Amino acid sequence: MLIKKKITVVVLLVLILGLVQGQSQPTKFKPAIEGDWWTITGQPDLGNFTGSKQQPVDFAVWQAGDGSWQLWSCIRGTKIGGKSRLFYRWEGKNLTDSSWTPKGIAMMADSTFGETAGGLQAPYVFKEKGVYYMFYGDWNRICLATSSDGKNFKRHFNKTADPSLFSGPLSNTRDPMVVKVNDTYYCYYCAHNEVDTHKKEPQGAVFCRTSKDLKEWSEAKIVSRGGTALGQTQWYAGDIECPFVVHLGDKYILFRNQRYGKDYLNTQYVSDNPFDFGDGNDRYMVGQLPVAAPEIVWADGGYYIFSLRPGLDGIKAARLRFE
């Protein structure tokens, strides 16, 4: 009888130890800021379009063909009209340089192609086989532009002669980013309902669509919504903005934004499944960082994180590690 009890205790200890190890394992992929931040950009001079309350917001960072580093940011609150947004460009010689060189307005919405006036949002760029692909939002759709040098982009037109790839299933489809795993592209983005407290559908969610050729895209899947982040947002559906996913080993780390400004906040989740970071729960949540609209870049053998400054008056950078 005593032997049986000892065996039972040993089995329970093994099970408990395994459970604890299983629960703690994702924390190895918890992101952490390493060292000090440095300022990349300030407020741009937009000439006649400069607004007294303009703000650099969602942005993209990448290395162009000549080795220079490019940063395009959506500037909102300008005098351009419509939704008040356009893309502005900066250039840096080195990723670790401060005060990158302003290069002027890079792109504005074109209603000729169905884009909402002043509605450009959140660019994201990656390079493959000598071509730079820029995904961006036009207020209601995810669109595509391409470049051969990583500086000069032209809209990539589909069969209906416009640059859109897809939209929905909710409103204000925006904030795309793309991860390629093997031969499949995963496009993460967000969207939300129109304001209606009586709707039973989710206010907003992070979605994912996949493609083999960047032309045909799958149906949208909800990959993250709700949880603790929902109660930490500044505005309706603001808890699902600016999704960014890092593929690290066999893990996927999702950065999901809740707040801009002086109280900025971003929540991170780690999952084995690129389609599941928690639906209405914090099952995969591993941490939170005081950053906004982060962009993660791998360069020179390490990770860098870019974030909006708390005053929404520029963009800063720091080194990033996964603990």
Q: Domains, the chain, ranges and CATH?
A: 39-167 (2.115.10.20), 170-292 (2.115.10.20)
pLDDT of 150 strictly over 70: yes
Interval 159-163 mean pLDDT: 91
Interval 51-69 mean pLDDT: 98
- What the block records as the tokens of 18 is 């395994």
Nearest to 188 by CA among 178, 196, 197, 180: 178
Cα–Cα distance list, 296 to 121, 125, 320 (Å): 18, 12, 8
Please give the pLDDT value at position 27. Answer: 59
pLDDT of 289 strictly over 90: yes
Query: Is the Cβ–Cβ distance between 130 and 150 less than 8 Å?
Result: no
- What the block records as the tokens of 42 is 């300030």
Please give the pLDDT value at position 194. Answer: 79
pLDDT digits (tens, 9 = 90+) for 208-243: 999 999 999 999 999 999 999 999 998 888 999 999
Give the range with max mean pLDDT: 116-125, 156-165, 188-197.
Answer: 116-125
Rounded Cα gap, residues 13 and 161, in angstroms: 64
- Of residues 160 and 92, the one with the higher pLDDT is 92
pLDDT digits (tens, 9 = 90+) for 20-36: 444 444 457 999 999 99
- Of residues 110 and 15, the one with the higher pLDDT is 110
Helix ranges (DSSP H) in 78-187: none
Task: Tell me the torsion sign for CA atoms 305, 168, 240, 115.
Answer: positive
Relative to beta strand 69-76, strand 55-63 is antiparallel
Interval 181-210 mean pLDDT: 86
pLDDT digits (tens, 9 = 90+) for 102-111: 999 999 999 9
Interval 273-289 mean pLDDT: 97
What is the pTM assigned to this prediction? 0.91
Please give the pLDDT value at position 64. Answer: 98
Please give the pLDDT value at position 235. Answer: 86
Question: 10 Å Cβ neighbour count for 36?
Answer: 8
Please give the pLDDT value at position 198. Answer: 63
